[in-house]
Structure 1
Amino acid sequence: MSCRSRIFDFSALAGLLAALLLPASIQAQEQPPLEAFAMRPIILDVDLSPSGENLAVVRLPGQGENYVIQVFETADMSAAPYTLGSDTMDIIGINWANDERLLVRTRQPVEVPGRRVGYNTPGIGQPGRVKTYAYKLLSVGFDGGRWVELPSKSNIARFVSETVVQRLASPNVVHRLPDEDDWVLISWFGSNDVGTEIFRVNIEDGRSESLLQLSSSYFDYRFDYDGDLRIRSVVARNENRIYMQYRLKDETEWNEWLSFDVDDRRPLSVLGFVPGEPNQVYVLTAQNRDTDGIFLYDMTAPDAEAELLFAIDRYDAGNVVTACISWACIDGEEDPRLVGFYFVGDAPQIYYIDEEAELLQRSIDAALPPGNFNSIHDRAADDKFIVIQSTGPSEPGRYYLLTDKQQLQLIGRTTAVEPEQIGDSRVVWYEARDGMMLNAVLTLPPSGEPPYPTIANPHGGPQSRDSLHWNSSYWDEWPHLLASRGYAVLQPNFRGSTGFGYDYFAAGDRQWGYRMQDDVDDGMQFLVEQGIADPERMAIFGWSYGGYSAMVGAMREPNIYKCSIAGAGVSSMELIEKEEWNYRFREMFQRTRGGLSPIANMDDVNIPILLVHGDRDLIVPIRHSDLFALELERRGKPFRYEKLIDAAHTVDTLGFDHNMQFYTAMFDFLDNDCGF
């Protein structure tokens, strides 16, 4: 945890970036190297200090290295920054605790005794040691002084082993106390039995005290601006419902409030408290609509009808937008007025209700390339400094510093890939075989003529969705990687996807491998009919649920695909129910998932398949791919298997070497086993 030299040496990246950061006119004629896609994001996080005097940037010093934190003086960004970090510290995020100290989230690989037989152990079905990641929260001065672990180990020793085995739990900052500059509130989920404990922690020395402990029946707790716990959700397993409890400001009694039946699956989410109105909250819910809207609720009149503030047809609402960023809103340091509503249509959008905020957004948009989503990522208390994040269908991401709402300065880019190298993305709608209209994202190669070799890329979840937005994660990078190699890529938002209303979502109930899979195939047939996809050169590739879909895609008859690539896929419905759905209240939603189990239909595999899986995966343990590979081998089916050592389920745990191994194997597989 040492503080490195204040002078930061970029020589490790110089050779690679010299090749990658060529002028766009030259780059557009060349295919970006795999290394450009395999690198973790060059900039992972950017955060302004509360006063705006300093800017912290989590930056990648070189391929295969861990992130470091650079702290710049905003008044002179050309001055050498402080650099914090070490070769053994894997930094994954930051926040300012106050103007002097940073909160740093880190991750480290661990092995603990296995508590589930064969969970992700080397021998299938044998007990052993579970490989996963443990997460820590640290505090440090912005100049690199006094690293402190939060909370201290003595407070949480009884939690650690259970936590890392059962879930990727970690300490989480839930409130920066406005009247106590050196203290924060941290939550720690211990285990199914222990539940969640809230600590009050000193960021200077790690001292902590336990404020309250919530059993596993409680979750989604909400604190108001003063740091008081005001709302919590409760799982009533015997009644098959989830309800909220609230208490009025300065009162201790808990009152039952909003509830929903699990079978209906129309959940409620408290987005935040209304500034100046401590008993009013913004709530995201559908009520009697198909799509989610944002409502204003008054807890002093719990039986009164809520006021609908924002809703649109076809797409769910997302969140409220205020004139400040969360930390400063909590502290009362900025103007917390409501200025608009965020939602994701074809791409992320903000509907403004405040003229001043809309004018600022227009001025930012006018200064940057058209077609991107330019969001205020962070801002100082007086708006002298504002951090802008710009992303788009073919823009991986750039960060800018806006000074005095006039001077715009590039902080850096998240990747070395140029927009001209990765092609164009658009939204398409197509009709499924049963008449349901479905949304999808289509990415075309930057060169060449149709019909293209085409890959179906169903998303994970499956309670998720794809849109025209690149958020610097590999989930969004994969279609562009494939497009840069000449492939068209379809990301279908099959039934069961979220963001398009309740009917769209509920249509996927217990349709794994059935209608949800038909939707993927129907999207590909649509592209064939449009002259975009070559029917003789089509494949399917996905991760997590998408990996499951790729496994099922290898079993279709007649099969429209020549090969399948299944990453971290669910091969056994029976296993995943035991491994995942017994965690907290989630077994109550198990009824929504059901369908074809790939491991029970191995004889139907009729195309080559590439399996990819990380051995630290606790969400879909590697046992799923191990068993699938074993059954393929027994039957003499053509397959390859790439195990990613020390990678977990989420793609942010895939480092440069993992990605190079994966991408090299994938394109070799497409070229040789698929016959493309």
Structure 2
Amino acid sequence: MTRIIFSLFILLLSSVAQAEPLPTEAFGLLPQSEQVKLSPDGKKFSYLFNYQGKTLIGVTNIETGKNHFIVRTDNQKFKIGWYKWANNDLLLVSADYPVQRGGLKYTEARLLKIRADGTGTVDNVLRLKQKERSPQFQNNIIDLLPDEPNYILMALDLKIANRPDVYKVNLSSKVSRKLVYRSKSYISHWLTDRQHRVRLGYGRDETKIFYRLHDLETDEWRNIWEYEIFDAPDITPLGFGLNPSHLYIRAIHNDRYAIFMVDVSSKQLIRTLVYADENYDIEGSLIYSKKTNDVIGVYHGEANDAKHFFDPDYAKFQQALNNAIPDAYNNIASVSDDENKYILFTSNPQSPGAYYLGDRKEKRLDFILDEYPLLFQKSLPGKTKITFKARDGLKIEGYVTLPYDDVEPKNAALIIPHGGPMARNYGGFDWFSQFFASRGYTILEPNFRGSSGYGFEFEMASIQKWGGAMQDDLADAAHWLTENYPVDKQGICILGASYGGYAAMMAAVKQQDVFRCAASFAGVSDLEYIVRKARRFTNYKVVKKQIGDDSDMLEQNSPVNFAKEINIPLLLIHGDKDRVVDVYHSREMFEELEDLGKQVEYIELENGNHHLEIEANRLKTLNAFDEFLSKHLQADTKL
């Protein structure tokens, strides 16, 4: 009944005020619910719940309906990254803490444990013994060991930095753990097979990636692959099949990343192609059956439901869900060990997402949680996939989002480049672009060259190419938009975060004839600083290979060095606790522009991180963007 009353309230509210834009809170509040998961026995489900700027983990007893919260954070002392059910009674929580030691700023990840019934306290899984070092990453679970529910396997570098040993950790004890495998040179990650044996170690020696396999027949470790980072063959191990000789990998096939099964019992490492898409990379992880313990599919962002099942029974069940909820993205987010109960996440253009509890025996599907309740039953404009040709003829994909039907559209648009740059945009709901569409703007999110998802060669176009052809693609996207949509070519702003923020600043330097204004959140302004700061971290040579080490080139592609040439309005926003792109980048850019009397605004977010995970900062950022765009795109930009 509560749900029905709430729904009617939203409908009545929209009927009397359709012309008014939705409040910033409809998009800027953290998702009300996330990461909904079933306990192994299917008797309880848990979820992240965001309320009044705080994030909580809730647990609901399905039979009784009783609900309680067991973990709380304000997202400032620490942020919950992910959590898992260790067994039916215990949850493991990965928490990210911003730290500063010895002049270095970085994030420390810790693993917490808490009883699902809320009794007891939230404790660190890792309790250091005398003379043990404190690892930066204390959350590296290798295997949950379902046959031993009170134990897990973890990789921890307690003795030598960046040389993790494998430990069997007793979750019922505060200090009990047993060494399983000693560290090996340069191995930073470990992988078990489905029989829970440590089988694969992989890592990096400066810029060389290598993989070592534990051979079951000889009981020895042997090298199976090695290559230079950002070069072919670029192999990623995904996991073992039920057959311990079957290792699934992602590797290049006709310039696209595909899924192969490798017979590791063969010295020749014979590959069998399992799944490929001739147009897109397969980027996701493997999907396992809880009942058979074998691989049944893989996540694929370009599939209709972001999944492709190899197993016909699971494919049939997925199709049944699609028939029951047509024209929607339907994703089974969690299942019980017997695979009877499941959590379904579903969304469509009329809904950004909701969670349902399914029961296969009873053939029931019951609503449990919304993601964005303030957008409930609001008809949202979907993303339209488009293609255009860059000036050199390269085909570029992107997504266009049109203004909301019930707001007055502006004859103005935003080009929003993604971060990374070796990342990409997808179709489907996202709160960021939807916010600007609700304000009447047309949005184009281009997957410029250097983006992931379109093949090895396409992605590697980002290596040491910041400010070059990738930047030209954004101007070409703007030109294409004005030719195909009712957008004034004098009414386009570029706005982005992280690498997208860099691209916005670089556009203010190089593309003032295309963009009327530019806005950056957590953007990179100084490439030389990025490389210089990396000297104190283990990825220094990787950073040099990715961005470059030619000082002249880095200087020429750093917008902070060309503040004098910027003559369009620029907005800079940055969190003071950003551990990915240091706040230095926006502070220096602002000071350079302010000293020259340029049109620049700067907002620094207190305790802000790189991902806008503090709700007050997210709202402040959206409102600042909205005000900035209204100021510089409002005049003569309405239809």
Q: TM-score, normalised by structure 2?
A: 0.89
Are positions 1:151 and 2:125 aligned together? yes
Shift of 1:507: 2.6
1:223 alignment counterpart = 192
2:258, 2:46 → 1: CA distance? 35
1:260 alignment counterpart = 227
Are positions 1:461 and 2:420 aligned together? yes
- Equivalent position SS for 2:249: strand
Are positions 1:434 and 2:392 aligned together? yes
2:336 alignment counterpart = 380
Residues 243-642 of structure 1 aligned to structure 2 (within 5 Å) = 243-249=210-216, 251-262=218-229, 264-275=231-242, 277-286=243-252, 289-319=254-284, 321-322=286-287, 324=289, 328=290, 334-345=291-302, 349-370=306-327, 372-392=328-348, 395-404=351-360, 406-416=363-373, 417-418=375-376, 420-447=378-405, 452-470=411-429, 476-580=430-534, 583-585=537-539, 587-588=541-542, 590-594=544-548, 596-642=557-603
**Cα 1:642–1:245 shift into 2, 3 Å:** same
Shift of 1:221: 2.1
Shift of 1:404: 2.1
One-letter code aligned to 1:293: A
1:383, 1:27 → 2: CA distance? 45
Shift of 1:260: 2.4
One-letter code aligned to 1:404: R
Shift of 1:399: 1.0
1:393, 1:346 → 2: CA distance? 17
1:184 alignment counterpart = 152
Question: Is residue 148–residue 205 contact of structure 1 (8 Å, CA) maintained in 2?
Answer: no
- Equivalent position SS for 2:509: coil
One-letter code aligned to 2:401: T
2:89 alignment counterpart = 100
Question: Is residue 262–residue 589 contact of structure 1 (8 Å, CA) maintained in 2?
Answer: no
Are positions 1:38 and 2:28 aligned together? yes
Question: Is residue 56–residue 72 contact of structure 1 (8 Å, CA) maintained in 2?
Answer: no
Question: Is residue 617–residue 647 contact of structure 1 (8 Å, CA) maintained in 2?
Answer: yes
Q: Is there any run of 5+ residues in structure 2 with no aligned partner, and where? A: 549-553
**Cα 1:631–1:346 shift into 2, 3 Å:** farther
Question: Is residue 615–residue 647 contact of structure 1 (8 Å, CA) maintained in 2?
Answer: yes
Shift of 1:228: 2.1
**Cα 1:82–1:548 shift into 2, 3 Å:** same
1:241 alignment counterpart = 208
Are positions 1:668 and 2:627 aligned together? yes
Give the share of equivalent positions with the same residue, in percent.
26
**Cα 1:140–1:111 shift into 2, 3 Å:** closer
One-letter code aligned to 1:278: P
- Equivalent position SS for 2:220: coil
**Cα 1:156–1:269 shift into 2, 3 Å:** farther
Per-residue CA distance 1:120-170 (angstroms, 9 max, x = gap): xxxxxxxxxx5x65443222222112335243432498544x73xxxxx44
Question: Is residue 71–residue 142 contact of structure 1 (8 Å, CA) maintained in 2?
Answer: no
RMSD: 3.0
1:206, 1:250 → 2: CA distance? 36
Shift of 1:99: 1.2
- Equivalent position SS for 2:628: helix
**Cα 1:34–1:640 shift into 2, 3 Å:** same
Shift of 1:446: 1.6
Shift of 1:21: 7.5
Question: Is residue 544–residue 569 contact of structure 1 (8 Å, CA) maintained in 2?
Answer: yes
Aligned residues: 620
One-letter code aligned to 1:501: G
2:533, 2:9 → 1: CA distance? 45
2:609 alignment counterpart = 648
Which of 103, 116, 135 pairs up with 1:115? 103
Shift of 1:556: 2.1
Residue range with higher mean Cα deviation, 499-508 or 18-27? 18-27
Per-residue CA distance 1:457-480 (angstroms, 9 max, x = gap): 00000010001134xxxxx32111
1:123 alignment counterpart = none
2:259, 2:509 → 1: CA distance? 42
1:251, 1:565 → 2: CA distance? 59
Q: TM-score, normalised by structure 1?
A: 0.85
Shift of 1:437: 0.4
1:267, 1:622 → 2: CA distance? 33
Per-residue CA distance 1:566-610 (angstroms, 9 max, x = gap): 111111111111234764346236334356111122222121111
Question: Is residue 531–residue 540 contact of structure 2 (8 Å, CA) maintained in 1?
Answer: no
Question: Is residue 547–residue 566 contact of structure 1 (8 Å, CA) maintained in 2?
Answer: yes
One-letter code aligned to 1:41: P
Shift of 1:375: 1.2
Question: Is residue 544–residue 570 contact of structure 1 (8 Å, CA) maintained in 2?
Answer: yes
One-letter code aligned to 1:141: R
- Equivalent position SS for 1:547: helix
**Cα 1:190–1:620 shift into 2, 3 Å:** farther
Question: Is residue 287–residue 299 contact of structure 2 (8 Å, CA) maintained in 1?
Answer: no
1:124 alignment counterpart = none
Question: Is residue 127–residue 175 contact of structure 2 (8 Å, CA) maintained in 1?
Answer: no
1:223, 1:675 → 2: CA distance? 57
